[in-house]
Every structure is written in C-alpha cells, then in structure tokens.
C-alpha cells in the first residue's frame, strides 16, 4: 500500500450546516473512544499522522487538504472546551502558540496540571520544528492536546507558499532530539535538520560555541563564509594551503553577521545555554543563528548537521474518505444523512454503555451491602 500524506494548501471554508454535522460526528467518536479506550490512548492516536488524517476523512473534511489540520483541531477545541469532562482539552490552534499561556492557566485549574510545564512544552515544540528544523515551511498553526491525566502532545502545521504545500508536525517528545512522532508532508531536498539524532554532536558544539565570546563567534562565522565562497581563509594562509574546502550542500550558504544577529549573540553571551533544553528555550535563538552555528560547526570543526528530511510517510488514509464523502466532493460529495445516522448510532451506543456501567455498579453495591450484612450476622 502506498504511504503518502500530501497536504496541498486549499482555500475556502466549511459551510456552517456541514460544520455542525462534522462537530456532532467528531464529538460522538471522541467521547466513545475516550469512554472505551481512555484519553491517553486517544492522545496517542492523535499523535499518529495517519490516524489524524483518517479521523479527518471520517468526519467529512477534504481527504488531502491542509485545512484538515485546522478544521479538525478547531472542531476538537470547540467540543472539548464545551465539555471538559470528555477528558481532553485543546489549547492554541490557528494563530499559533500565542493563545497557549492564557488557556494553559484555565486548563490547569480544570485538570489540576502545571500550566508552566504546558507553556514550556509548547515553546520547545514550536522552536524545534521552526528553528532547529529548517525545511522551508513556516509555522502558522500550533495546538497542544491535553488529557485529564496530565499527558499532552502538540500538533502544528507549517506552510510553504512557493510550493503551495503544508506540513503537519506531531510532537510527543519535548526536547531537541527527535521530538516528532511523525511529520506529514512531501519530501524535500533543502533541509537543515538540527533535531536529528545524528545532529547530537553538532548540537553539543552549538552550546560550546555560544559559550565563546561574541567576537570569537563572529570571527569563526566570517572564516566559514570565506571558505563557503571558495575564498582563501586565514587558516589556509597560516597552514600554507592553496586549495580551500567547499561544501556542495545546498543549505551551506554564507550567513552574513548582521547587526541583529550580532546583538542576539551578545545577549545570549550574558547567559549562555548549559544544555540542550536550555538551548531550546533560550531567547534570541532564531533560524539564522542556528544556520550560522551549523555552518561554523561543519566548515571549521568538521562536525556536520544533518540534512535528512524527517518527513514520515503514513499509510495512505484516502480509503477513509469513503465513510461519508468529503467537502470537496472526493471520492463523492459529503453525505449528511449517513453522517447524522453515524453520530446518532455512536451516541446511543455510548449511552447504553454508560447505563450498563451504572447497572454493574449498582449490582456491586448491593453485593457489598449483602456481604456486610452477612458478616454482621
């Protein structure tokens, strides 16, 4: 079976009448799954790009659209905040991580979790997939999924307007080393992947470099730039070399030490990072600085940063689009009648399951009372 998950950028909106049906169906599915399998399992499924896309298709969203991320997340945010007893809350969404801190405080009150921990996880995941992974996609959607048990994942999406494509990043590890449980998208050849496991040594060197003086970092960057351009470096003259090294890797381009970049380096120098977690959260660490560090690490010290594209290829979820059709008419127009029948069936099944559980609880209570009475005799 082919393993694809392309996310072309699509325009347009879901009609209000269709959105209501999709919300009802999504609510019925999530409630039933949480009831039967628990919120932790549902979070684990949402962390799987293939399952996420399949869920999107089952509720009737376009089978391959970038809107699958924003619509599914928006629907789940609506229904979970309307009824937090479901056991899951969705923080953030379209507009990125700016919404997370305020919503984290409210979520902490509801589920008795640490709001600071949620905000830190949000920041690390956004920084990992936008600064330390540079793949040409700019993040514009960021959502944190929280369970009542205190577990959480992040689902975020970036767009590349030049390619007309999107990528969805699923994060389950809140660190710089392989944080993603999966990335849905199309493979690209122009990537700087500082979150790869094979970039571990390079990340250590980034930390060491940032503990150097700002002047030293700028000097090393200028020398690396000269080598990349094929110009003789100071080291070449000292060691009597007539030829220079030249990396023929597309992301190795000169990084000009602008005033803004130098200012960032100077600010970090006053309180340099001590480990990878500190590096991930340090203010002032931006994509340009990471490119500069990668350039110095490889060209000067011979420690390369990975250029492996970390996109995964989840199982083709197209078949799930046959459940009730899709908004875009593929494989056939959205079937409102079937969707309504589906969520009514799920609601009834859930209610019956809860009634059955109540009957069992009452029977057990009667049995306990009988045992106590017999023990009393």
> Which of the two residues, 211 and 368, has the higher pLDDT score?
211
Q: What percent of the chain has pLDDT over 90?
A: 51
Mean pLDDT throughout 166-188? Answer: 93
Instruction: Enumerate the domain spans of the chain.
Output: 16-188+311-339, 198-299
Q: 192 by DSSP, 3-state: which?
A: strand
**What contacts 222, CB < 8 A, 6 or more positions away?**
257
Question: Exposure string (b/e) for 213-244, b if CB count within 10 Å is 16 or more?
Answer: ebeebbebbbbbbbbbeeeebeebeeeeeeee
Whether 248 has a pLDDT exceeding 60, the answer reads no
Whether 9 has a pLDDT exceeding 60, the answer reads no
User: According to the model, what pLDDT value does residue 137 have?
Assistant: 92
Q: Which two tokens stand for residue 121?
A: 């996880």
As beta bridge partners, residue 139 has 158
| pLDDT, tens only, 289-302 | 999 999 999 999 99
**What contacts 223, CB < 8 A, 6 or more positions away?**
233, 234, 235, 299, 300
Mean pLDDT throughout 203-213? Answer: 98
| pLDDT, tens only, 111-128 | 999 999 999 999 999 999
User: According to the model, what pLDDT value does residue 357 have?
Assistant: 54
Cα–Cα distance measured from residue 216 to residue 212, given in angstroms and rounded to the nearest whole number: 6
Whether 231 has a pLDDT exceeding 70, the answer reads no
Q: Which H/E stretch holds residue 10?
A: none
User: According to the model, what pLDDT value does residue 245 have?
Assistant: 46
């Amino acid at each position: 079976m082919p393993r694809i998950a392309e996310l072309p950028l699509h325009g347009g909106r879901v009609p209000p009448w269709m959105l209501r049906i999709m919300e009802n169906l999504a609510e019925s599915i999530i409630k039933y799954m949480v009831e039967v399998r628990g919120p932790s399992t549902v979070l684990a499924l949402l962390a799987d790009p293939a399952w996420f896309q399949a869920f999107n298709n089952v509720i009737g969203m376009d089978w391959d659209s970038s809107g699958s991320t924003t619509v599914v997340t928006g629907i789940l945010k609506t229904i979970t905040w309307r009824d937090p007893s479901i056991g899951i809350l969705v923080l953030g969404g379209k507009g990125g991580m700016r919404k997370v801190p305020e919503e984290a405080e409210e979520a902490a009150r509801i589920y008795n979790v640490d709001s600071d921990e949620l905000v830190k996880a949000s920041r690390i995941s956004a920084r990992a997939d936008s600064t330390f992974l540079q793949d040409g996609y700019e993040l514009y959607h960021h959502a944190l999924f929280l369970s009542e048990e205190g577990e959480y994942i992040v689902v975020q999406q970036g767009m590349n307007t030049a390619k007309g494509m999107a990528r969805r990043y699923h994060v389950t590890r809140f660190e710089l080393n392989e944080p993603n449980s999966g990335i849905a998208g199309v493979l690209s050849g122009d990537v700087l992947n500082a979150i790869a496991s094979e970039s571990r040594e390079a990340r250590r060197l980034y930390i060491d470099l940032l503990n150097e003086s700002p002047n030293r970092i700028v000097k090393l960057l200028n020398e690396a730039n000269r080598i990349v351009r094929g110009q003789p470096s100071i080291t070449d003259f000292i060691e009597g070399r007539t030829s220079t090294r030249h990396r023929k890797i597309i992301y190795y381009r000169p990084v000009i030490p602008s005033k803004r970049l130098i200012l960032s380096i100077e600010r970090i120098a006053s309180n340099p990072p001590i480990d990878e977690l500190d590096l991930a959260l340090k203010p002032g660490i931006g994509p340009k600085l990471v490119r500069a560090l990668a350039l110095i690490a490889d060209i000067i010290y011979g420690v390369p940063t990975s250029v492996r594209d970390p996109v995964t290829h989840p199982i083709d979820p197209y078949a799930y689009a046959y459940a009730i059709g899709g908004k875009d008419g593929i494989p056939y127009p959205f079937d409102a009648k079937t969707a309504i029948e589906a969520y009514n069936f799920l609601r009834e099944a859930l209610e019956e399951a809860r009634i059955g559980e109540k009957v069992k609880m009452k029977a057990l209570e009667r049995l306990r009372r009988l045992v106590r009475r017999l023990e009393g005799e």
